[in-house]
Structure 1
């Protein structure tokens, strides 16, 4: 069973065509509001949803009540990339029986502790996209290229940090 509703193809194409023909296409402005509840425990509000972040008890001041902030950062990348896979699979009429993105980052912890002169940053980010589909390898390659080139977070990260992606198609590297 496909995790992508390709019956939405006509509606999506009309929407994209309408935006393409619009006299003015305004910039998007994604936003989130956050507040600190206590120590590392923070709360965010976005799109009518509320979600928390925290650090583990092993960090002085952490309570372990929610995922760590960097997990949201990496999940945001994965979610954005997945959304582009879905959007472009619908546009291309590709049914996907499985779509998953796993992300792994590496940080130099000295940066976050102020123990080096350079600002804290990711040293690298690697991700694996897993797809299961009956679509041709050529169609999947086109899908991968479209999803990666149209993902805002992928574009931003690839300009800032070594970003390495692997795609598994039906269990084998593409």
Structure 2
């Protein structure tokens, strides 16, 4: 059973065409508001949802009550990329039986501790997109290229850090 509802293709195409022919497309303004609860424990509100972040008990002041902040950052990347896969699979009429994105990263912990002159940053981010579909490989390649090029986070990160992406199609790496 497909994870995407390709019957939405006509509606999505009309929406895209309406935006394409619009006189003006106003910029989007994604936002989130956060507050500190206590020490590392923080709360965010966005789109009517509330979610927390914390550090593990092993960090002085952490209580381990929620995922760490960088996990949300990496999950945001994966979620944004997955949304583009779904949107473009619908648009291209591709049924997806499986879609997942796993993200790994490397950071120089000295940056976050103030032990180096350069600002703290990611050294690298690697991700694996896993797809299962009966679509021809050429269509899947188009889907991968389109999803990555339409993902705001992928586009932003690719300018700032080494991104290493792998796609696994039906159990085998897509070369």
TM range (shorter): over 0.9
In the alignment, which residue of structure 2 is the partner of 1:3?
Answer: 3
What TM-score do you get using the length of structure 1 for normalisation?
A: 1.00
- Partner of 2:3, secondary structure, is coil
Distance in 2 (CA, whole Å) between partners of 1:87 and 1:23 is 23
Equivalent residue, structure 2, for 1:89: 89
Counterpart-to-counterpart distance in 2, 1:19 and 1:148: 20
What does 1:1-174 correspond to in 2, within 5 Å?
1-174=1-174
Output the CA distance in 2 between the equivalents of 1:32 and 1:138.
38
Q: Where does the alignment leave 5 or more consecutive residues of structure 1 unmatched?
A: none
Determine the C-alpha separation between the residues in 2 that align with 1:9 and 1:149. Answer: 20
Shift of 1:112: 0.2
Counterpart-to-counterpart distance in 2, 1:137 and 1:21: 31
SS in 2 for 1:10: helix
State how far apart, in whole Å, the 2-side matches of 1:15 and 1:33 are: 29
Q: Give TM-score scaled by structure 2 length.
A: 0.99
SS in 2 for 1:67: coil
Cα distance in 2, alignment partners of residues 3 and 135 from structure 1: 14
| Divergent runs of 4+, >2 A | none
Partners of 1:32 and 1:20 in 2: how far apart?
28
What is the aligned length? 174
Using the alignment, how far apart are the partners of 1:128 and 1:143 within structure 2? 15
